[in-house]
Amino acid sequence: MRMRPIIGMTACQEDQKIYKTNNTYVRAVLRAGGVPVLLPVGGRPEDCGRLAALVDGLLIPGGLDVATQFFGEEPVKEVTCIDRVQDTFELELIRQAAALGKPMLAICRGLQVVNVAFGGTLYQDIPTQCPQAMGHRQETASRSEEYHTVDVLPGTALAAALGEGPLLTNSYHHQAVKDLAPGFIVSARAKDGIIEAIEDRNGSILGVQWHPECMEERHPRFRQLFTAFVARAAGEG
Protein backbone atom coordinates (compact mmCIF):
# COMPACT_ATOMS: atom_id res chain seq x y z
CA MET A 1 0.00 0.00 0.00
CA ARG A 2 1.41 3.38 -1.00
CA MET A 3 2.22 5.99 1.61
CA ARG A 4 -0.25 8.86 1.71
CA PRO A 5 1.55 12.09 0.75
CA ILE A 6 2.11 14.79 3.35
CA ILE A 7 0.44 18.06 2.39
CA GLY A 8 1.73 21.13 4.17
CA MET A 9 -0.67 24.04 4.53
CA THR A 10 0.11 27.38 6.08
CA ALA A 11 -1.68 28.43 9.26
CA CYS A 12 -2.02 32.14 9.98
CA GLN A 13 -2.01 33.78 13.40
CA GLU A 14 -5.34 35.08 14.67
CA ASP A 15 -5.69 37.65 17.45
CA GLN A 16 -2.08 36.94 18.45
CA LYS A 17 -3.37 33.86 20.30
CA ILE A 18 -3.87 30.93 17.93
CA TYR A 19 -2.72 29.63 14.57
CA LYS A 20 -5.51 28.47 12.30
CA THR A 21 -6.34 26.95 8.96
CA ASN A 22 -10.00 26.47 8.10
CA ASN A 23 -11.19 22.91 8.55
CA THR A 24 -12.56 22.86 5.00
CA TYR A 25 -8.97 22.71 3.67
CA VAL A 26 -8.09 19.90 6.05
CA ARG A 27 -11.17 17.86 5.18
CA ALA A 28 -10.67 18.32 1.44
CA VAL A 29 -7.08 17.07 1.66
CA LEU A 30 -8.08 14.12 3.83
CA ARG A 31 -10.85 13.11 1.43
CA ALA A 32 -8.39 13.31 -1.45
CA GLY A 33 -6.04 10.89 0.28
CA GLY A 34 -3.45 13.29 1.68
CA VAL A 35 -2.08 13.78 5.20
CA PRO A 36 -2.53 17.46 6.15
CA VAL A 37 0.17 19.12 8.26
CA LEU A 38 -0.15 22.73 9.43
CA LEU A 39 2.84 25.05 8.96
CA PRO A 40 2.45 28.09 11.27
CA VAL A 41 3.48 31.33 9.57
CA GLY A 42 5.85 33.60 11.42
CA GLY A 43 8.75 31.20 11.60
CA ARG A 44 12.15 32.22 10.31
CA PRO A 45 12.20 32.58 6.51
CA GLU A 46 15.57 30.84 6.48
CA ASP A 47 13.83 27.70 7.77
CA CYS A 48 11.41 27.56 4.84
CA GLY A 49 13.73 25.35 2.80
CA ARG A 50 13.67 22.69 5.51
CA LEU A 51 9.90 22.93 5.83
CA ALA A 52 9.45 22.62 2.06
CA ALA A 53 11.67 19.53 2.08
CA LEU A 54 9.53 17.88 4.78
CA VAL A 55 6.30 17.87 2.75
CA ASP A 56 5.27 16.20 -0.50
CA GLY A 57 3.00 19.04 -1.58
CA LEU A 58 2.10 22.54 -0.44
CA LEU A 59 -1.33 24.15 -0.14
CA ILE A 60 -1.48 27.95 0.21
CA PRO A 61 -4.93 28.96 1.50
CA GLY A 62 -6.96 32.14 1.30
CA GLY A 63 -6.73 35.05 3.71
CA LEU A 64 -5.76 38.72 3.92
CA ASP A 65 -4.59 41.09 1.20
CA VAL A 66 -0.99 40.89 0.03
CA ALA A 67 1.08 43.90 1.12
CA THR A 68 1.47 46.00 -2.01
CA GLN A 69 5.15 46.77 -1.51
CA PHE A 70 5.92 43.16 -2.38
CA PHE A 71 4.92 43.98 -5.96
CA GLY A 72 6.28 47.51 -6.03
CA GLU A 73 3.20 49.64 -5.33
CA GLU A 74 1.70 51.80 -2.60
CA PRO A 75 -1.74 50.74 -1.32
CA VAL A 76 -5.06 52.14 -2.46
CA LYS A 77 -7.45 52.97 0.36
CA GLU A 78 -9.42 49.74 -0.13
CA VAL A 79 -6.40 47.67 1.01
CA THR A 80 -6.89 47.59 4.76
CA CYS A 81 -5.96 44.12 6.08
CA ILE A 82 -2.39 42.91 5.60
CA ASP A 83 0.15 40.82 7.51
CA ARG A 84 3.74 41.29 6.34
CA VAL A 85 4.97 38.44 8.52
CA GLN A 86 2.63 36.04 6.73
CA ASP A 87 3.53 37.48 3.33
CA THR A 88 7.27 37.14 3.95
CA PHE A 89 6.93 33.57 5.21
CA GLU A 90 4.65 32.35 2.44
CA LEU A 91 6.61 34.03 -0.34
CA GLU A 92 9.81 32.32 0.77
CA LEU A 93 8.09 28.98 1.40
CA ILE A 94 6.59 29.04 -2.09
CA ARG A 95 9.95 29.81 -3.70
CA GLN A 96 11.72 27.10 -1.74
CA ALA A 97 9.02 24.53 -2.55
CA ALA A 98 9.25 25.42 -6.24
CA ALA A 99 13.04 25.03 -6.14
CA LEU A 100 12.52 21.51 -4.80
CA GLY A 101 9.88 20.70 -7.42
CA LYS A 102 7.07 20.26 -4.88
CA PRO A 103 3.53 20.40 -6.29
CA MET A 104 1.41 23.31 -5.06
CA LEU A 105 -2.26 24.15 -4.90
CA ALA A 106 -2.93 27.85 -4.18
CA ILE A 107 -6.41 29.10 -3.33
CA CYS A 108 -7.74 32.69 -3.55
CA ARG A 109 -5.10 34.78 -1.70
CA GLY A 110 -2.79 31.81 -2.25
CA LEU A 111 -2.98 32.31 -6.02
CA GLN A 112 -2.15 35.98 -5.55
CA VAL A 113 0.87 35.20 -3.33
CA VAL A 114 2.15 32.68 -5.89
CA ASN A 115 1.86 35.24 -8.67
CA VAL A 116 3.76 37.84 -6.63
CA ALA A 117 6.38 35.28 -5.53
CA PHE A 118 7.45 34.79 -9.14
CA GLY A 119 7.35 38.41 -10.28
CA GLY A 120 3.70 39.15 -11.07
CA THR A 121 1.51 42.02 -9.88
CA LEU A 122 -2.05 42.39 -8.60
CA TYR A 123 -5.11 44.53 -9.03
CA GLN A 124 -5.36 45.87 -5.48
CA ASP A 125 -9.12 46.39 -5.65
CA ILE A 126 -11.21 45.09 -8.52
CA PRO A 127 -14.21 47.46 -8.16
CA THR A 128 -12.08 50.61 -8.32
CA GLN A 129 -9.34 49.47 -10.72
CA CYS A 130 -11.53 47.40 -13.05
CA PRO A 131 -14.85 49.29 -13.14
CA GLN A 132 -16.13 47.10 -15.97
CA ALA A 133 -15.81 43.98 -13.80
CA MET A 134 -18.79 42.00 -12.58
CA GLY A 135 -19.27 40.89 -8.98
CA HIS A 136 -16.41 38.92 -7.46
CA ARG A 137 -17.19 39.13 -3.75
CA GLN A 138 -20.41 37.41 -2.79
CA GLU A 139 -21.89 37.74 0.69
CA THR A 140 -23.96 34.56 0.63
CA ALA A 141 -24.03 32.82 4.01
CA SER A 142 -23.23 29.43 2.49
CA ARG A 143 -19.72 29.41 1.04
CA SER A 144 -20.68 26.44 -1.13
CA GLU A 145 -23.13 28.60 -3.10
CA GLU A 146 -22.23 29.08 -6.77
CA TYR A 147 -21.88 32.73 -7.81
CA HIS A 148 -20.35 33.34 -11.25
CA THR A 149 -18.99 31.44 -14.24
CA VAL A 150 -15.35 30.97 -15.15
CA ASP A 151 -14.12 29.56 -18.45
CA VAL A 152 -11.54 26.80 -18.00
CA LEU A 153 -9.08 26.87 -20.89
CA PRO A 154 -8.34 23.68 -22.85
CA GLY A 155 -4.98 21.95 -22.64
CA THR A 156 -4.33 23.06 -19.05
CA ALA A 157 -3.79 21.06 -15.88
CA LEU A 158 -6.94 22.71 -14.53
CA ALA A 159 -8.92 21.37 -17.50
CA ALA A 160 -7.43 17.91 -16.94
CA ALA A 161 -8.77 17.99 -13.37
CA LEU A 162 -12.14 19.74 -13.82
CA GLY A 163 -12.86 19.67 -17.55
CA GLU A 164 -12.68 22.59 -19.95
CA GLY A 165 -15.37 25.19 -20.62
CA PRO A 166 -17.82 27.01 -18.34
CA LEU A 167 -17.66 26.29 -14.61
CA LEU A 168 -19.81 27.85 -11.88
CA THR A 169 -17.77 28.83 -8.83
CA ASN A 170 -18.08 30.73 -5.60
CA SER A 171 -16.16 34.01 -5.28
CA TYR A 172 -14.77 35.90 -2.26
CA HIS A 173 -12.01 38.20 -3.50
CA HIS A 174 -11.47 41.88 -4.25
CA GLN A 175 -7.92 41.47 -5.57
CA ALA A 176 -6.79 39.61 -8.67
CA VAL A 177 -3.82 38.95 -10.94
CA LYS A 178 -2.88 41.96 -13.08
CA ASP A 179 0.51 41.15 -14.66
CA LEU A 180 1.01 37.41 -14.86
CA ALA A 181 4.28 36.09 -13.42
CA PRO A 182 6.85 34.91 -15.98
CA GLY A 183 6.72 31.17 -16.54
CA PHE A 184 2.98 30.94 -15.81
CA ILE A 185 -0.08 30.66 -18.03
CA VAL A 186 -3.72 31.58 -17.50
CA SER A 187 -5.92 28.51 -17.13
CA ALA A 188 -9.29 30.19 -16.41
CA ARG A 189 -10.92 33.60 -16.77
CA ALA A 190 -14.22 35.12 -15.67
CA LYS A 191 -16.58 36.50 -18.31
CA ASP A 192 -15.25 40.02 -17.60
CA GLY A 193 -11.67 38.96 -18.35
CA ILE A 194 -10.46 38.76 -14.73
CA ILE A 195 -7.92 35.94 -14.34
CA GLU A 196 -9.43 33.15 -12.24
CA ALA A 197 -6.74 30.46 -12.40
CA ILE A 198 -3.05 30.23 -13.24
CA GLU A 199 -0.51 27.44 -13.48
CA ASP A 200 3.15 26.97 -14.29
CA ARG A 201 4.19 25.45 -17.61
CA ASN A 202 4.09 21.85 -16.39
CA GLY A 203 0.98 22.21 -14.22
CA SER A 204 2.82 21.40 -11.00
CA ILE A 205 1.87 24.76 -9.46
CA LEU A 206 -1.83 25.50 -9.83
CA GLY A 207 -3.76 28.42 -8.36
CA VAL A 208 -7.49 29.13 -8.43
CA GLN A 209 -9.21 32.34 -7.36
CA TRP A 210 -12.33 30.67 -5.96
CA HIS A 211 -12.68 28.38 -2.91
CA PRO A 212 -13.05 24.76 -4.07
CA GLU A 213 -12.54 23.49 -0.51
CA CYS A 214 -15.90 25.04 0.39
CA MET A 215 -17.64 23.49 -2.63
CA GLU A 216 -16.24 19.98 -2.95
CA GLU A 217 -18.68 18.36 -0.53
CA ARG A 218 -21.83 19.84 -2.10
CA HIS A 219 -20.40 19.87 -5.64
CA PRO A 220 -18.18 16.76 -5.95
CA ARG A 221 -16.69 17.92 -9.25
CA PHE A 222 -14.41 20.25 -7.29
CA ARG A 223 -13.02 17.32 -5.30
CA GLN A 224 -11.15 16.31 -8.45
CA LEU A 225 -8.92 19.37 -8.00
CA PHE A 226 -7.70 18.05 -4.64
CA THR A 227 -7.49 14.48 -5.91
CA ALA A 228 -5.25 15.58 -8.79
CA PHE A 229 -3.10 17.68 -6.44
CA VAL A 230 -2.62 14.86 -3.95
CA ALA A 231 -1.82 12.46 -6.77
CA ARG A 232 0.91 14.81 -8.01
CA ALA A 233 2.29 15.05 -4.47
CA ALA A 234 2.36 11.25 -4.35
CA GLY A 235 4.35 11.19 -7.60
CA GLU A 236 1.46 9.84 -9.62
CA GLY A 237 0.62 12.92 -11.67
Q: Which of 90, 92, 211, 216 is catalytic?
A: 211
Residue closest to 123 by CA, chosen among 78, 184, 171: 78
Q: Which of 92, 196, 199, 213 is catalytic?
A: 213
Strand partners of residue 197 = 188, 208
Establish whether 136 is a catalytic residue: no
Establish whether 211 is a catalytic residue: yes
Establish whether 213 is a catalytic residue: yes
Q: Which of 12, 48, 108, 214 is catalytic?
A: 108
Query: What number of H helices and E strands is found in the chain?
Result: 7, 12
CA distance 157 to 160: 5
Buried b (16+ CB within 10 A) or exposed e, 7-37: bbbbbbeeeeeeeebbebbbebbbebbbbbb
Residues 6+ apart with CB under 8 A from 144: 170, 214, 215, 217, 218, 219
CA distance 68 to 116: 10
Active site residues: 108, 211, 213
